[in-house]
Amino acid sequence: LSPEMMSADIDRLFAAKRQGKAKARCLGDLLVMSDTQLRAFFKPPSGSTDTETAGSATSWCEGIRALPLVDVSVEPDAMISSTDNASAAGSKSKPKPKSGSKGNNKIDSLEGLLPLTQYSVVVNLKHLPVQTAFRPPRMIKEPGQAYTPRFGKIQYEGWWLVLAQDEELVAIKRVSMQGKPESSGVWANSGELAVKGAAQRRQGAGNESRSVKLMFITPETAGAYRLKLYLVSDAYLGLDQEIDVDIVVGAGQMTLAADSSFISKERMKEYQ
Q: Is 71 helix (H, G, I), strand (E, B) or coil?
A: strand
177-206 pLDDT per residue, tens: 886 544 434 444 433 443 333 333 333 334
Task: Read off the pLDDT of residues 216-259 as tens digits, 9 standing for 90 and up.
Answer: 999 999 999 999 999 999 999 889 999 999 999 998 665 443 33
DSSP 109: -
Residues ≥6 apart with Cβ < 8 Å to 181? 187, 188, 199, 200, 202, 203
Picking from 208, 123, 210, the residue whose alpha carbon sits closest to that of residue 161 is 123
pTM score above 0.75:
no
Q: Distance (Å, rounded) from C-alpha 3 to C-alpha 52?
A: 13
Which of 50-64, 66-80, 104-118, 173-187 comes out lowest in average pLDDT? Answer: 173-187
Q: To the nearest 10°, report the CA torsion of 202, 208, 209, 215.
A: 150
Q: Report the percentage of the chain scoring pLDDT > 90.
A: 34
**pLDDT at site 230:** 97
> What is the band of 4 on the pLDDT scale with cuts at 50, 70, 90?
low
Q: What is the pLDDT of residues 256-270, one digit of tens each?
A: 433 344 444 455 555
The pLDDT value recorded for residue 129 is 87
131-154 per-position pLDDT tens digit: 899 988 888 888 788 998 888 888
For residue 165, the cross-strand partners are 168
Give the containing element (helix H, strand E) for 161.
strand 158-165
Which string of DSSP letters, residue by residue, matches 11-36?
A: HHHHHHHHTSS----SHHHHHTS-HH
| Confidence at residue 13, expressed as pLDDT on a 0 to 100 scale | 64
